[in-house]
Chains A and B, each alone.
Chain A
Amino acid sequence: MKKVTDFIEINQAVVRIKNYKKKLVTNFFPNREKVEIWISKNQFYTIEIGEVIYFLKKNENFYALFFIASSNEELDKSLLELLVDFSEEILMLDIVQREETSDLLNVFYSKSFNLYTSLVRMNRLNHQVDLLSISTDGVKEASGHHLISLTNILYSFFDEKAEQLPDEKELGNWIENKNVLIYEEDNQIGGFLVYEIIGNTLYLRYWFVHPNFRDKRVGSKLFYEFENKGKDANRHLFWVIRSNENAIKRYKHYGFVEEKMYNFVLTNKNIRYEE
């Protein structure tokens, strides 16, 4: 296993695998900014086994696993060796697809991977918001001095194995780009919402209300301000854990519908996401 030192190594990996003239089977859809942070912090590694190039992002308690393979069969062969090398480590990987099952998922299940949890993408198209009737008092953009508190909340209340949490630097970039809304009362963060606008699409990344602030309409205030920020976007998207039925119900209330687009989070250990 060697450290990745330049983003270009990912492009080179795609070229090498594609040159086998077979297929391109991958779960790696890299965000350059994010990957460059991992590289700068020496957290990103690669290993080539047969016709598969793996990338691993080291986290405190687990590795996030990405692969670029020439076929399911080659992946199947190469995984055996990888699993021996990492038998002591927790490996987590995401497979995004439009079906509930697939040969690709079965490759991992046949190698004793388990389903940790699954997420579904929800969207809302051409939604019109009546902004005049909605109060967003107390909601503002986060600033640099909120960074540590926000990072602590994220890592305390979200599941980092399931939800691909940003590190402090990435969250800092979002704050700098004015992509983080917070609700603050008496210097305490009661809730926050992280979003991004890419083209005409508004992505909701994280939406959180602190338990001490529940039933105070903090969540809806944050959400309405988010809608206000994205009022020109014609498509709103986000991922939600499928077992979280209450959240799905709440999003449906806001006009979202479930897509046939799923993210299966797999692990080589016998662990499960807990609500």
Chain B
Amino acid sequence: MKSKIIAVLNDIRPEFDFNEPVDNFIEAGMLDSFDLVTLVTSLDEVFEISIDGTDILPENFSNIESILNLLNKYSK
């Protein structure tokens, strides 16, 4: 799942290395609000889920771990 998330992120921002450990993609300037919406729609498509509106919070997309935690909620 992690490699799929990284592939989605690389597709959105190919200029960054999302394999590198980063605390917060947004604070690091790697993702902005436009990217967050793209990320939500891409994750919906790739993982065949529908992320709830209430989960569209920056803290759920701040790094790979937080995205993994979010997706795990939908795979249960």
A interface list, Cβ under 8 A from B? 11, 14-19, 21, 23-24, 26, 29-31, 96, 123, 125, 198-201, 233, 235
Does B44 belong to the interface (CB within 8 Å)?
yes
A16-B53 contact in complex given A23-B41, A199-B26, C-beta closer than 8 Å: yes
**Residues of A contacting B: mostly:** mixed
B46 to chain A, nearest CB (A): 14
A18-B29 contact in complex given A29-B34, A96-B34, C-beta closer than 8 Å: no
Does B56 belong to the interface (CB within 8 Å)?
yes
List 13 additional A-B contacts (Cβ < 8 Å) besides A14-B56, A15-B52, A24-B44.
A11-B53, A15-B54, A18-B50, A18-B51, A24-B37, A24-B40, A24-B56, A29-B34, A29-B37, A31-B33, A199-B27, A235-B15, A235-B29
Query: What CA separation (Å) do A17 and B40 show in the bound complex?
Result: 13
- For B31, the closest partner residue in chain A by CB is A199
| A residues in contact with B54, CB < 8 Å | 15
A256 to chain B, nearest CB (A): 13
B61 to chain A, nearest CB (A): 14
Query: What CA separation (Å) do A16 and B52 show in the bound complex?
Result: 9
Q: A199 contacts B30, CB within 8 Å?
A: yes
Q: A199 contacts B29, CB within 8 Å?
A: yes
Query: What CA separation (Å) do A125 and B30 show in the bound complex?
Result: 12
| A residues in contact with B27, CB < 8 Å | 199
Q: B33 contacts A14, CB within 8 Å?
A: no
A29-B29 contact in complex given A15-B54, A18-B53, C-beta closer than 8 Å: no
Query: What CA separation (Å) do A125 and B15 show in the bound complex?
Result: 9
**What sequence of 0s and 1s flags, for each residue 31-50 of chain B, a beta carbon within 8 Å of any chain A beta carbon?**
01110110011001000001
Does B28 belong to the interface (CB within 8 Å)?
yes
B34 to chain A, nearest CB (A): 5
